[in-house]
Structure 1
Amino acid sequence: MPLHIICLVLFAALLHASWNAMLRGGTDRLWSMTIMCMAIAVASFIVAALLAPPARASWFYAGFSAVLHVGYNLFLVRSYKSADLGQTYPIARGVSPILIVLAASLFAGERVAPSGLLGIALVSTGILSLAFTRRRRALPNLPYALGTGLFIAAYSVVDGIGVRLSGAPMAYTAWMCLLWGVMMPMVYIGLRDTQSLFALRPGFAVAVAGGLVSLLAYGVVIYAMAHAPMGAVSALRETSVMFAALIGYAFLGEALTLRKLLACAVIALGTLVIG
């Protein structure tokens, strides 16, 4: 994998950990996630208006991915209700690289070198070891966390195929995120009501910022998947768990235990093997 792609994906991982920390800090995570999506929709509309549309062959994938992203949002929000970020996030992110490698092999004809498979296995092992530092509290949340991981794997493969058919990674990303950003408020209104969605609450600016950071992070990943194997890109992206552990220690007062340090070392080794 080219060095500039590795650096871009690691930057996207840092951004991803940052917006998840923003979401974690909200008191009403479904509302915060929906505001994030609305910010994504506005920004995506501006970008889409400036670019030529992607190739028609990719339109189905953009729409399918938008639906999968909404499902991912709902599972992620639900999983945070029954466990904290330090458990849900690693489980969801840890299983997705392996699933993506399998799906990319089946549906996109990708073949990953043995060294790449070893790197992906190391990254996933390190991430999952972070999740089970307190095993008893992690298990009740396992179905929602695994469901989140399944959605991550599904939309990653769909986008990996769609962006290659699009001929225009930026335009594809903009239209997919626009559709996703429009769908999520509709789901919120169906689950709750319109009035609570548009009520100005504390945390509105943070949610908007989180949405823009999320859009930038996924745009970088989409670009990378157009130029490198999906499984390897996914594994590198999931190093966001390592960044989350460091952010928690530096800014949130969370403990950085020997087990966490060893897990982070395994993740870092896996990224080097992939590279």
Structure 2
Amino acid sequence: MTPLVFFAVLTAAMLHAVWNALVKGGADKRLNMAGVVIGHLPLAVPMLAFVPAPDPASYPYLIAGIALHFGYQMFLLGSYNVGDLTQVYPIARGVAPLLVAAVSLVFLGVDLSSMEVLAVVTIAAGILSIALVRGADGLRNGRATAMALTTGCFIASYSLVDGLGARVAGTALGYYAWLGIANAVIFTGFMAATTPQVLRDLPTKGLKVFLVGGSASFAAYSLVMWAFTQSPIALVTALRETSIIFALLIGVLMMGERLSLGKVASTMITLLGVILLRVTRS
């Protein structure tokens, strides 16, 4: 992984934590999620004029990716309704790199060095250990855990599908612009059918999340999509999930969530994995 890819994915991780915190921090999480997803449109639509269209061979990946992103958003929203940021986020993001790495090694024939595998496992262990700290604090929530695990499976699935699809498409940004627009349209239709008040509130109560969260989300995954075409998907996915460090800081500093010695230790484990990944050259 080159320095440019490494720092691009770290930037994406920071932006990813920002929009997740906006969704979790607001009183109306459906409105916030709608703001983020529909908020892709102001960047995705103009991007069509500057990037090539994806190769038709990537259309099956594109369709699957749209479905997986929608499922992810539904389960993430459900997770945040029953659990807090520092429980749901680590579980959902922690299992994803392990699943992606396993599928990459076993089914896709991706060649990862022993040090790269160690880096991925260390990052995932650090992330998941934060959720274990929450359990040790007496804040166990079985329903939130189940929802978060399912969310993690969706993350792993769309990461693999999008990574492969972007390579086949021949344009990471063109592929994601199409995906982002389609996802926003489908999510808008879902909100109109189930909670039309959300769409009415979006230009007023949801404007901040629409502008800030939507832009952060689209920019974050655009960087990740590009990185998928430059480095192994498993390594990009693992590094992206270091967004947990940023999420932890946001949760503690801005949302009043408690910082403990266990969380500090978990963060250090995650950072160790990042260091291992950085010093390992693909």
TM-score normalised by structure 1 residue count:
0.94
Counterpart amino acid of 1:251? Answer: M
- Report how many aligned residue pairs link the two structures: 274
**Cross-structure match for 1:183:** 186
| Correspondence for 1:154 among 149, 157, 178 | 157
Q: Deviations over 1:98-146 (max 9, x none)?
A: 1111222355331221111111111111111111223142333121001
Identity %: 36
Counterpart CA distance in 2 for 1:134 and 1:6 is: 30
Q: Does the CA-based 8 Å contact 2:22-2:32 persist in structure 1? A: no
Q: Deviations over 1:195-239 (max 9, x none)?
A: 542234424223331011000000001111100011111110000
Q: Deviations over 1:61-98 (max 9, x none)?
A: 12211111110000000011111111001000000001
**Cross-structure match for 1:143:** 146
Q: Which residues in structure 2 correspond to 1:16-27 (within 5 Å)?
A: 16-27=16-27
SS at structure 2 position matched to 1:49: coil
Give 1:58 deviation, angstroms. 1.2
Counterpart CA distance in 2 for 1:233 and 1:138 is: 30
| Correspondence for 1:198 among 197, 200, 215 | 200
Q: Which residues in structure 2 correspond to 1:160-175 (within 5 Å)?
A: 160-175=163-178
Question: Please, what is the CA RMSD of the aligned residues?
Answer: 1.6
Q: Does the CA-based 8 Å contact 1:55-1:167 persist in structure 2? A: yes
Counterpart CA distance in 1 for 2:95 and 2:114 is: 19
Aligned in 2, Cα 1:247/1:168: closer, same or farther, shift over 3 Å?
A: same
Give 1:256 deviation, angstroms. 2.4
Counterpart CA distance in 2 for 1:53 and 1:203 is: 31
Instruction: Note the residue ranges of structure 2 that are not aligned, 5 or more in a row.
Output: none
Q: Which residues in structure 2 correspond to 1:255-266 (within 5 Å)?
A: 255-266=258-269
Q: Does the CA-based 8 Å contact 1:132-1:138 persist in structure 2? A: no
Give 1:57 deviation, angstroms. 1.1
Aligned in 2, Cα 1:39/1:207: closer, same or farther, shift over 3 Å?
A: closer
**Cross-structure match for 1:98:** 98
**Cross-structure match for 1:42:** 42
Counterpart amino acid of 1:168? Answer: T
Counterpart CA distance in 2 for 1:92 and 1:126 is: 13
Q: Does the CA-based 8 Å contact 1:108-1:161 persist in structure 2? A: no
**Cross-structure match for 1:221:** 224
- Asked if 1:234 is matched to 2:237, the reply is yes
TM-score normalised by structure 2 residue count:
0.92
Instruction: Note the residue ranges of structure 1 that are not aligned, 5 or more in a row.
Output: none
SS at structure 1 position matched to 2:141: helix
